[in-house]
């Protein structure tokens, strides 16, 4: 009997996992530098939480959620995104206080029943963050800047920032009407989903991926001309701030997000080095969601980035430098006695924080030296029968190829003093 991973999921194995660990470590450090604290929420929630926050007419809620009944018949859903759970948890645990800013980040798997393809999985990993409690547009800028800074820190080039404003409850109804009227005139070119969306939630048509719908969208009236004064000012302010901070961006007047809770500025970051699924991060402001989920009336802004896509581009750009397995010291051992003598040394060195690997499997010296090379060992310690007899070890510098004889009694202290870390 042989089992395979479920369609749309994948294993992240060594050496790729080293890349992931590097990405996570870099992201977490940078998030903490920006004042975000981690929050870990459950992978499943009550289905109602997502229906309510993401919106009934979105692709996610309509067809992508992993929803199931538990043994008591409660409807639960594997989280398709992070924000709803974070906001639910922040309210439930009283993390939000009027007048205070709460900055939270999360990382972990998300689940969406989508058609699997390059860069699109059914279980995928996101790193994301939320700033809850401020309406300052500098918080939007801070989030976008974090993303730009992160991509630059990991050495990812070819990154582009797109922004748009999706308005607020003041001005969106007006635009909605204009949109509805336009769509009604073009109904025949819309897919079945969009014909329904057109009536219930016409803004969703902007996010449709069907080609004929995309063509209709390209001729659609842009939201910019229908924004209220305060959304217009906010959009201007953000653009000026981004310019001032030297963050290059493009206004994409048809950019909307696949979730209903966004208000005002939304953004997306794309990589030039990915195929069709080129969005590596996305986010925006969601000033009504906290209240909508039963919390205080608090504005908020956040983002999420897709780990698979980031790792995919990074692999193309600089995998070699990041995916090596580093070993400080490799022990090449010949014979039972050498293994016996060395096991203790290895234990001692590992306790002192050095990365140590050894061959404990009776292989030829040639084979063992190849292992040492592959592990990029800085030093190899060679102990064979001859060395045991003499009470010494041969220590080889893998870079200069110089070899030294060291007494077995002195070996551990000698290696520790080299400060290989």
**Contact partner, 341, from ligand ATP, Mg ion, none, Cβ < 5-8 Å per class:** none
Separation CA 130–CA 139 (nearest Å): 10
Quick one: what does residue 270 bind among ligand ATP, Mg ion, none, with the CB cut-off 5 to 8 Å set by partner type?
none
Name which of Mg ion, ligand ATP, none residue 277 binds, using a CB cut-off of 5 to 8 Å depending on partner kind.
ligand ATP
Instruction: Please provide the DSSP assignment of 251-317 as one string.
Output: E-TT---SSTT-EEEEEEEEETTSSS--EEEEEEE-TTHHHHTTS-S--EEEEEEEHHHHHHHHHHH
Strands (E), 186-259: 249-251
Shortest reach from residue 279's CB to ligand ATP, in Å:
4
Quick one: which of 348, 351, 350, 357 has its CA closest to 329? 357
Q: Which does 312 bind (CB under 5 to 8 A by kind): Mg ion, ligand ATP, none?
A: none
Beta carbon nearer to Mg ion, 258 or 299: 258
CA–CA distance, 294 with 54 (Å, rounded to integer): 15
In the bound state with ligand ATP, the residue whose beta carbon lies nearer, of 303 and 330, is 303
Query: 17: which residues sit within 8 A by CB, 6+ positions away?
Result: none
Residue 330 near residue 375, CB atoms below 8 Å: yes
192 versus 276: smaller Cβ distance to Mg ion: 276
Which of 79/378 has CB closer to ligand ATP? 79
In whole angstroms, the minimum distance from the beta carbon of 329 to Mg ion comes to 47
Binders of Mg ion in range 363-392 (CB under 5 A): none
Shortest distance, CB of residue 258 to Mg ion, whole angstroms?
5
* CA–CA separation, 351 and 236 (whole Å): 57
Give the nearer residue to ligand ATP in terms of CB position, either 204 or 309.
Answer: 309
Closest approach of ligand ATP to the CB of residue 126, in Å: 5
User: Rg of the chain over CA atoms, in angstroms?
Assistant: 28
The residue (of 161 and 415) whose beta carbon lies closer to ligand ATP is 161
421: how many CB neighbours lie within 10 A of its CB? 10
d(CA 314, CA 153): 12
Angle at CA 121, nearest 5°, toward 268 and 267? 5
Least separation, in Å, of the C-beta of 268 and ligand ATP?
7
Q: Minimum distance from CB of 6 to Mg ion (Å)? A: 19
Give the interface with ligand ATP as residue ranges (CB under 6 A).
81, 112, 114, 119-121, 124, 126, 257-258, 277, 279-282, 304-306, 308-309
Contact 289, 82 (CB under 8 A): no
357 binds, among Mg ion, ligand ATP, none (CB under 5 to 8 A by kind): none
Nearest residue by C-beta to ligand ATP?
306
Q: Estimate to the nearest angstrom the gap between the alpha carbon of 204 and the chain centroid.
A: 25
Least distance in angstroms from the C-beta of 282 to ligand ATP: 4
Strand partners, 107: 127
Interaction partner, residue 163 (ligand ATP, Mg ion, none; CB < 5-8 Å by kind): none
Shorter beta-carbon distance to Mg ion: residue 283 or 299: 283
What span, in angstroms and rounded, lies between the C-alpha atoms of 314 and 24? 13
Query: In whole angstroms, how close is the CB of 368 to ligand ATP at the nearest point?
Result: 41
Please report, as residue ranges, which positions from 237 to 296 form the binding site for Mg ion (by CB under 5 A).
Answer: 258
Q: Count each helix (H run) and each strand (E run) in the chain, helices first.
A: 15, 16
Closer residue to ligand ATP (CB): 84 or 346: 84
Query: For binding to Mg ion (CB under 5 A), which residues are involved?
Result: 258
């Amino acid at each position: 009997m042989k089992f395979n991973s479920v369609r749309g999921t994948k294993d992240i194995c060594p050496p790729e996992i080293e890349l992931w660990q590097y990405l996570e470590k870099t992201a977490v450090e940078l998030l903490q530098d920006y004042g975000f604290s981690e929050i870990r929420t459950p992978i499943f929630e009550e289905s109602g939480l997502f229906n309510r926050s993401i919106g009934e007419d979105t692709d996610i809620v309509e067809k992508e959620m992993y929803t199931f009944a538990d043994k008591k018949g409660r409807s639960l859903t594997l989280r398709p995104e992070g924000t709803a759970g974070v906001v639910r948890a922040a309210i439930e645990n009283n993390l939000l206080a009027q007048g205070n800013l709460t900055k939270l980040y999360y990382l972990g798997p998300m689940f969406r029943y989508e058609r699997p393809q390059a860069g699109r999985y059914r279980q995928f990993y996101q790193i994301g963050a939320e700033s809850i409690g401020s309406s300052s547009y500098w918080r939007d800028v801070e989030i976008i800047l974090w993303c730009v800074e992160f991509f630059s820190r990991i050495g990812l080039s070819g990154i582009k920032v797109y922004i748009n404003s999706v308005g607020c409850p003041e001005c969106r109804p007006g635009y909605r009407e204009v949109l509805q009227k336009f769509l009604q005139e073009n109904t025949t070119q819309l897919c079945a989903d969009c014909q329904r969306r057109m009536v219930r939630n016409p803004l969703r048509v902007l996010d449709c991926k069907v080609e004929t719908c995309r063509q209709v969208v390209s001729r659609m009236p842009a939201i910019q001309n229908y924004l209220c004064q305060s959304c217009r000012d906010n959009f201007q302010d953000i653009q000026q701030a981004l310019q001032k901070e030297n963050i290059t961006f493009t206004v994409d007047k048809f950019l909307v997000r696949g979730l209903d809770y966004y208000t005002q500025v939304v953004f997306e970051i794309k990589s030039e080095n990915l195929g069709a699924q080129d969005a590596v991060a996305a986010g925006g402001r969601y000033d009504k969601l906290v209240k909508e989920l039963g919390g205080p009336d608090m504005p908020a802004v956040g983002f999420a980035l897709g780990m698979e896509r980031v790792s995919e581009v990074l692999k193309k750009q600089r995998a070699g430098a990041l995916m090596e397995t580093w070993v400080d010291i490799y022990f090449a051992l010949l014979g039972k006695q050498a293994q016996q003598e060395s096991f203790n040394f290895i234990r001692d060195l590992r306790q002192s924080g050095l990365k140590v690997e050894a061959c404990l499997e009776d292989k030829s010296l040639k084979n063992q030296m190849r292992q040492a090379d592959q592990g990029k060992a800085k030093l190899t310690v060679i102990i064979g029968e001859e060395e045991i007899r003499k009470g010494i070890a041969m220590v080889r510098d893998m870079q200069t190829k110089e070899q030294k004889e060291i007494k077995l009694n002195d070996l551990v202290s000698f290696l520790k003093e080299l400060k290989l870390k």
